[in-house]
């Protein structure tokens, strides 16, 4: 879980996730609030960046840390703000256990549960088109932060983009490494809390910036 100034919600997010998945790693990306203490109180292991580097850097740090455990078979990137659902992770891990895919990418557009809003929907669909043309990887939701992968995928995906461009980079890495991939319908909940932080709008702007300036 990348973690940046989510002290209000991260403890409950970690506690809920740990009811099903006991091994949670939060990567604190230079938070200035009590995020670290709250994540630890929820039962997570917290790895800290001394300064804010960005979500991409936090994901790579988290994967590198988790890969040190030789018992770990599957790895999930999961937001710390309460938007992702543990039930979706259970389904995604089930698909990995079939052995048919190396990475499962969550999609907001395979069913009607998620309501991202008009602007975000347009931007996300433009991102899908761009990524498909530039990488050959065909997805319906190229910038979904909920992903599950096996050990091989977690090890070979190279993330050099520290900030929002990491999502495009992961898609490119799926193609470059010829990873077997599939999508899974997930429910992303845009809460009053996340909207109060302006995430939905600003993430759309950041995605556009990444696509054309990366």
Looking only at the bridges linking them, the beta strands covering 74-77 and 103-107 are: unpaired
Q: How far lies 191's CA from each of 20, 84, 106, 115, 116, in Å?
A: 22, 11, 18, 11, 11
Please give the model's pTM, rounded to 2 decimal places.
0.84
Look at residue 142 in the predicted model and tell me its pLDDT: 78
Interval 27-47: pLDDT, tens: 999 999 999 999 999 999 999
Q: Is the dihedral of CA 181, 183, 187, 193 positive or negative?
A: positive
Interval 43-88: pLDDT, tens: 999 999 999 999 999 999 999 999 999 999 999 999 999 999 999 9
Interval 144-202: pLDDT, tens: 899 999 999 999 999 998 776 788 899 999 999 999 999 999 999 887 776 666 545 44
């Amino acid at each position: 879980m990348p973690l940046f100034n989510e002290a209000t919600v991260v403890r409950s997010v970690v506690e809920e996730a740990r009811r099903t998945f006991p091994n949670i790693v939060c990567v604190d990306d230079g938070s200035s609030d009590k995020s670290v203490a709250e994540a630890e109180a929820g039962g997570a292991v917290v790895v800290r960046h001394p300064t804010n580097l960005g979500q991409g850097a936090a994901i790579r740090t988290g994967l590198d840390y988790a890969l040190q455990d030789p018992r770990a078979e599957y790895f999930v990137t999961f937001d710390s703000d309460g938007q992702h659902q543990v039930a979706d992770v259970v389904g995604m891990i089930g698909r990995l256990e079939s052995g048919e895919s190396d990475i499962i990418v969550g999609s907001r557009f395979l069913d009607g549960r998620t309501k991202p809003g008009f602007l975000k929907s347009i931007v996300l669909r433009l991102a899908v088109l761009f990524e498909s043309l530039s990488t050959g990887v065909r997805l319906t939701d190229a910038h979904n932060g909920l992903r599950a992968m096996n050990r091989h995928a977690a090890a070979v995906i190279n993330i050099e983009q520290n900030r929002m461009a990491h999502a495009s980079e992961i898609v490119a890495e799926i193609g470059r490494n010829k990873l077997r991939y599939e999508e899974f319908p997930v429910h992303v909940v845009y809460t009053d809390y996340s909207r109060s932080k302006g995430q939905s709008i600003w993430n759309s702007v950041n995605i556009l910036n990444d696509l054309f300036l990366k």
